[in-house]
Amino acid sequence: MEAYRYHRKVYYYETDRMGVVHHSNYIRYLEEARIALMDARGVSYRSMEAQGILIPVVSVSCQYARPAAFGDELEVETAITRLTPSRFWVRYLIRDLTTGQVSVTAESCHCFTGTDFRPISLKKAAPELYRWFADQCVTDE
């Protein structure tokens, strides 16, 4: 499966006094891209929650290379890279669509839980959903 590409424009309110995107907003961009990937490929967060399955963030790691600024058009390349019955990992690359310069590389890890936030094995609880995640994993690594 190939990486998913999500596009968004940087808004003025996302910038700081230095005129660049505040570092915390990149985390929001990652979430937007992850949700867009799932929606575009047929499984939404909402549908998972309706099944009683949550996917909270366990960790996020960001490496900031170049700041983005108001008006920049960004592409967030998003790919599920690893899956276990209880967790999955997502890789991100945020770049400027005009220049191609990379702003951020990142990775997030998520676990599968029930509505009580207790970890579950997705492979056992929802085998069809587990297969969907397995099918989404990027294999070109």
The residues annotated as belonging to the active site are 16
CB-CB contact of 55 with 77 (8 Å): no
Query: Distance between CA atoms of 33 and 27, rounded to whole angstroms?
Result: 10
- The token duo for 28 is 């929001």
- The token duo for 88 is 């999955």
Alpha helices per DSSP H over the chain: 23-40, 45-50, 122-125, 127-136
